Amino acid sequence: EVQLQASGGGLVQAGGSLRLSCATSGITYDSYYLCWFRQAPGKEREGVSCLFSDEPRKFYADSVKGRFTISADNAKKTVYLQMNSLKPEDTAIYYCAGRLSYFEDRSNWPYALYDWWGQGTLVTVSS
């Protein structure tokens, strides 16, 4: 059974930084996505960033490009989201999610169906 556990959220002032972690277990596949999504109050869930187990590309939402960085520590089986220059509009619950990969267009990652979800971690950015 695949499990994802997100952590690292908190309260930070605008301009500050946080690093989110997504600890994974049970992933025994060769080709899969691990991504971050977020959902702000009253808004739809949106894709933030994504990486893949078998290639170096990383994707970012336009709203976070240049500020957020996704990375993975394969030894620790953990994916990170380093968030810098945070803005009040980054306030949301952040979720890590994953799915198996087949032969689809990976640039459509925000709209794909995901097999595994973490429980979410709250990020609050004060102005």
Q: Per-residue pLDDT tens for 104-115?
A: 899 999 999 999
Which pLDDT value is given to residue 102? Answer: 86
Return the number of other C-beta atoms located less than 10 Å from residue 4's C-beta: 21
83 in Cβ contact with 9 (< 8 Å): no
pLDDT, mean of residues 36-42:
96
7 in Cβ contact with 120 (< 8 Å): no
Which pLDDT value is given to residue 74? Answer: 87
DSSP state of 65: T
